[in-house]
Structure 1
Amino acid sequence: MLLRFHGFAGANKALHPLLLPETVGVDSINQRVGRGDLRPVRRPSQVATVPAGRKAIYRMGRDVPADGTYWLSFAQDADVARSFIADDQAERTYWTDGVLPSWTDNTLGLGAAPYPNPPGIRVLGVPAPDAAPQVLVAAAGTGNDETRVFVTVWVNDRGEPSAASNATTITAKAGSTFTVNRNGSIPVGSYGLTSWRVYATVPGGGTEFFLAGEAPVATGSIAFSGTVNSAAQLDSLTWVMPPAGLRGLKPLWNGIMAGFVGKSLRFCEPFHPYAWPVQYELVLDDTIVALARWGQNLMVLTTGQPYLVTGSHPSAMSNQPTEVNQACVSKLGVVEHGHGISYPSPDGLMYVGSSGWKNLTQGLALRDDWQAMQPSTMVAGEFEGAYVCSYGTGAARRSFTLDPLNPSGFYFYGRAFDACFRDPVQDALYVLDSATGAVSKWDAGAAEVATFVSKTMRTAKPTNLGWGQVMADAYPVTLTMWAQGLQRMTNRVITNGQPFRLPSGFLADEWRLSIDTGNPVQAVMLANTLQELQAA
């Protein structure tokens, strides 16, 4: 009789230990995914420190591979995105945190740690003038009466205009000149305002506005000759700022970014992330929890059913409720894999991609098992293609890994994190310990001790297995053995690959092993006789 413990394909919480596949166990702790053997992961290796209590991290300077610089950190959960600008030399970086959409770059925000340096944080967008301009005829013309409409906009030091003010309409003789007073107050805040502009319609030329003049912020009036710059049409008529409570900033395609407030899904003007026209808004039936994308698909995860949003321009976005009625219970637990997305729902870890929907934890954990893992607490990222998730509260907080393309079992870790950031330049995952402010590189330190607790193996009849053997790259390997539910061998240290004697004096037909190792283990074999081991 020979029992072989091998494969080490993670842990299953749903099935009875006797009914598990041969390679799956009841527990797997600190085990590396994907090698086919039992080998330990490495501990996170600290690379930087941010202020304690921070809830989100992001590394600027992403064009240069580095671990220690420059770590932005935020007091609230924040979603961060880099600019779409092709010739951006300053790494313009935007974020939403549910408070005030903001931005910085490497000339403004990296003056001193902690980053972003507060004096270098700018509010995203430019507020529209709060009053219509006053338009006076400076010198009357002699022609027929003509009607013109005037608006003003603010402009910041990056050349970004605001939405237009309310309009002022005036009728005057052809050939008249005008004085335009901007009226209203100058916005107070970190907007970087440098100037304001006047735009006017052309008499008889339709409703388009063209540049009529520009002046510094401190200048209250602009003289307008009556001739507009026909090459400078006003594009920003409805380019309002993003709403103050915007969350979930998500770069999409064709220069579009998305975000949400409550049930409202918002989009920016393509390639203008400071402008969020209200006419692009989509209002859903359920409160939005998170946004995630793969390819040109935006999945809007809600407190109810998810919605699939597609379209090439914000004005042409369509939203379709999906056939899967699985809410998202943790925004921080959502992960984009490129081929699809994963997120925690009440019933398990859901996945959707080009191949459709599936519950990754179906067959691995029942609903009660999953709920015991407190899915609302989940914080997740991607590491080497796998879903890496921290969950739980207090001292009981731990992590697990699951392969979304081959969810054979859970791989649990004894360590946890409060936020994470995947650096695509280095294909590395960085995690945050909020209590200490430590930023660490995942799986980059000293090796852990891996533990695998096997399924229960059954022999054809009660027997006493007399011999054991461990196949490993190196030793020691520590074994604990149960027979008929009783612990018959405790922390036996195996120092080489030679056969060894097992405890005797009992019979059993149910056998289980716990293997603890700091070295790769390919298999552990138990047999009645030495000859059976040698023949294996």
Structure 2
Amino acid sequence: MKVGITGFSGEQPRVLPTMLPDAGAREAWDVRLDDGGLTPTRRSRLVATVTANHRTIYRHNGTWLSRAGDVHFAPGPVAQDRLYYTGDGAPKMQVAGVVYPLALPPPAAALTASATGSGTGEVFTRLYVYTWVTSFGEESEPCPVSNELLWQSGKTVTLTGFASAPAGRGITKQRIYRSQTGKVGTYLYLIAERNASNSDFTDTVPVDTFGESLPSADWNAPPDGLTGLVSMANGMMAAFTGRDVYFCEPWRPHAWPEKYVLTVDYPVVALAAIDTTLLIMTEGQPYVAQGTHPSTMAQKRIELNLPCINARGVVNLGFAVCYPSHDGLVSMSAGGTPSLVTGNLFRKDDWQALSPQTAIGSQLGQRYMMFYDTMVGTRRNAGAFAIDLSGTAFLVRHTITAGAAWYDLRNSALYYCAPGSGEVQELHPTEGSPNVLSWSSKEFLLPAPHNFGVILVDSLAALTAADQAALDADRAAVLAQLAAAIPISDLGAPINAKPIGELLVGGDVFSVSLAAISGPEFEAIVIADGEPKFSIRHLDRPVRLPAGFKARSWEIAVRSNVSVKQITLATSMADLTS
């Protein structure tokens, strides 16, 4: 008889240990589980420092940003140097490190038009407006329409009432528009652009000489309370306030026409976009809105009674959007097809014990990453796990905590700050020293008591020279920290100088450790009927197990910083090779 484990998988905590798949795990920590074997993740790498204890981190054009609140950053669809964001007061735009209000106010007062001289011929009614134009090419809404002016050829029109350009928005120009009547009606057309000025303007532009029509007649500035900003295809952006979902004018992120607003039945919690589909998560049922232009967006309510309970937990994986509900993690495709992906992972009470209302969601590869931090009585319960959605859902736990996290789509990297810290760490970088993974198998329950006599653990790959060099560098760094810390520590202090209970029993005054950074480390423990029976430290060769007992229940627990390909338990050497 033999038991072989390969194609390793992760945890399904809700499933009984004996009912797990043969490659399933009772525990899986710091292991990749993306190559069929047991391969350790890599130690986090420090990449930057931001203000400590901020809830939002983001990198734009190589510069790390952070905010104390929950801020939604989105790169602009018009220029690489522009960054747009909501959640930090009124909506804002950042250009070359300078922050501007996103709203571009229109001129407040109407122009006064007056005519001098005598005219002849047909009489025309003229109206005038003007707009502000910024150095970034943005154009405001027009001012109120001027008084009606009866004009004939030969008369000179003077416009007065121009305001000085307001400061703080990069306004450099004015565009002046005049009404013109054609076959399809009367509209306003560009007749002049000049430097922003409060000087009067004399209209000497011939009646048949005019430029483009006024584009911003029905544009509006974004509401101050707009939040949840996301980018969409075709130059669109979306955000919300209350139950209203707003869309910007395509390729014009400063303009948010009210004519495009969609209203849903429940307060909106978060938005996410996949191509031309906007997923709208609310305090009630979710919605999808689809269209290639804000004017064609059509909304549909999804008949799913799983409200979104936490905007920070919403993650766009590209192929689906995940959000936390009271009952578990919900996944929605671009078509709006929903599923409760944690159905085989958590009961409702176990899920609620993780405080999904305050958890942070992010992405690790194609997996949903959740950072949780809550109190169970007087005990802190904090950690992280990644949920694999590629087939039957399973999770992998990670020995980190986070108070802020951000996934960089451009290099497929997850960055985080530990609670209260300003150190930005890259989680599981492509280079660096390996972690020590921990993986425990399912409980193999045999029909009758049995004794296995041999175990073979095949390695997938030994530590590379780069891995060993990274471990050596980590060890040198730890030794340097200890050397610096010991002279100023409490070692040698008087008895009773520190209060009882300040450290855990067996704890350490130092936050660094030499464990698992010296070289290859491997241990497999064979567990029979719930009791550890034997420990092996050899890879790629059979090891005999102790005799003299039989058991129905068998498990294997592995700790390793080298990769494992397969584990085989067998009754005898002959069975091992059969």
TM-score of the alignment, normalized to the shorter chain, above 0.5: yes
Amino acid at match of 2:442: K
Q: How much has 1:415 moved relative to structure 2?
A: 1.0
* In the alignment, structure 1 residue 104 sits paired with structure 2 residue 149: no
Amino acid at match of 1:128: P
Find the counterpart in structure 2 of residue 59 from structure 1.
59
Q: How much has 1:214 moved relative to structure 2?
A: 4.2
Q: What TM-score, normalized by structure 2, do the two folds share?
A: 0.81
Q: How much has 1:218 moved relative to structure 2?
A: 4.1
* In the alignment, structure 1 residue 70 sits paired with structure 2 residue 46: no
Q: How much has 1:145 moved relative to structure 2?
A: 5.1
Q: What TM-score, normalized by structure 1, do the two folds share?
A: 0.87
C-alpha distance in 1 between matches for 2:397 and 2:408: 23
* In the alignment, structure 1 residue 365 sits paired with structure 2 residue 407: no
SS class of match (2:47): strand
Which residues in structure 2 correspond to 1:164-313 (within 5 Å)? 164-175=142-153, 176-182=155-161, 186-188=165-167, 190-202=168-180, 206-225=185-204, 227=206, 229-313=209-293
Q: How much has 1:142 moved relative to structure 2?
A: 5.1
Out of 301, 309, 315, the residue aligned to residue 321 of structure 1 is: 301
Is the 1:147–1:169 Cα contact (8 Å) retained in structure 2?
no
Out of 126, 132, 135, the residue aligned to residue 148 of structure 1 is: 126
Q: How much has 1:311 moved relative to structure 2?
A: 1.2
C-alpha distance in 1 between matches for 2:116 and 2:173: 22
Which residues in structure 2 correspond to 1:79-98 (within 5 Å)? 79-85=72-78, 88=79, 91-97=81-87
Out of 436, 439, 443, the residue aligned to residue 456 of structure 1 is: 443
* In the alignment, structure 1 residue 49 sits paired with structure 2 residue 46: no
SS class of match (2:104): coil
Is the 1:98–1:246 Cα contact (8 Å) retained in structure 2?
no
Out of 380, 384, 397, the residue aligned to residue 399 of structure 1 is: 384
Q: How much has 1:140 moved relative to structure 2?
A: 5.5
Amino acid at match of 1:29: W
C-alpha distance in 2 between matches for 1:299 and 1:259: 11
Q: How much has 1:51 moved relative to structure 2?
A: 1.8
SS class of match (1:158): coil
Greater mean alpha carbon deviation, residues 425-434 or residues 266-275? 425-434
SS class of match (1:230): coil
C-alpha distance in 1 between matches for 2:56 and 2:190: 42
User: How many pairs were matched up?
Assistant: 510
Q: How much has 1:162 moved relative to structure 2?
A: 0.6
Greater mean alpha carbon deviation, residues 238-247 or residues 333-342? 333-342
Q: How much has 1:33 moved relative to structure 2?
A: 2.5
C-alpha distance in 1 between matches for 2:573 and 2:138: 80
* In the alignment, structure 1 residue 39 sits paired with structure 2 residue 39: yes
C-alpha distance in 2 between matches for 1:72 and 1:264: 29
SS class of match (1:370): helix
Structure 1: 5+ residue runs without aligned partners? 62-68, 110-119
Structure 1 runs, 4 residues or longer, greater than 6 Å off: none
Q: How much has 1:209 moved relative to structure 2?
A: 0.8
C-alpha distance in 1 between matches for 2:302 and 2:174: 46
TM-superposition CA deviations, 1:129-163 (whole Å, max 9, x none): 22222333344545565432222222212232111
C-alpha distance in 2 between matches for 1:330 and 1:319: 22
Amino acid at match of 1:197: R
SS class of match (2:351): helix
Identity %, equivalent residues: 31
Amino acid at match of 2:532: R
Q: How much has 1:17 moved relative to structure 2?
A: 1.2
Find the counterpart in structure 1 of residue 358 from structure 2.
377
Is the 2:456–2:543 Cα contact (8 Å) retained in structure 1?
yes
Q: Considering only aligned residues, what root-mean-square deviation do their CA atoms show, in Å?
A: 2.6
Q: How much has 1:312 moved relative to structure 2?
A: 1.8
SS class of match (2:212): strand
SS class of match (2:312): helix
Q: How much has 1:18 moved relative to structure 2?
A: 1.6
C-alpha distance in 2 between matches for 1:239 and 1:467: 76
Structure 2: 5+ residue runs without aligned partners? 463-519
Question: CA 1:156 to 1:70, structure 2 compared with 1: closer, same or farther past 3 Å?
Answer: same
Greater mean alpha carbon deviation, residues 377-386 or residues 22-31? 377-386
Q: How much has 1:270 moved relative to structure 2?
A: 1.2
C-alpha distance in 1 between matches for 2:118 and 2:90: 47
C-alpha distance in 2 between matches for 1:420 and 1:92: 22
Amino acid at match of 2:458: M
Is the 1:7–1:24 Cα contact (8 Å) retained in structure 2?
no
SS class of match (2:48): strand
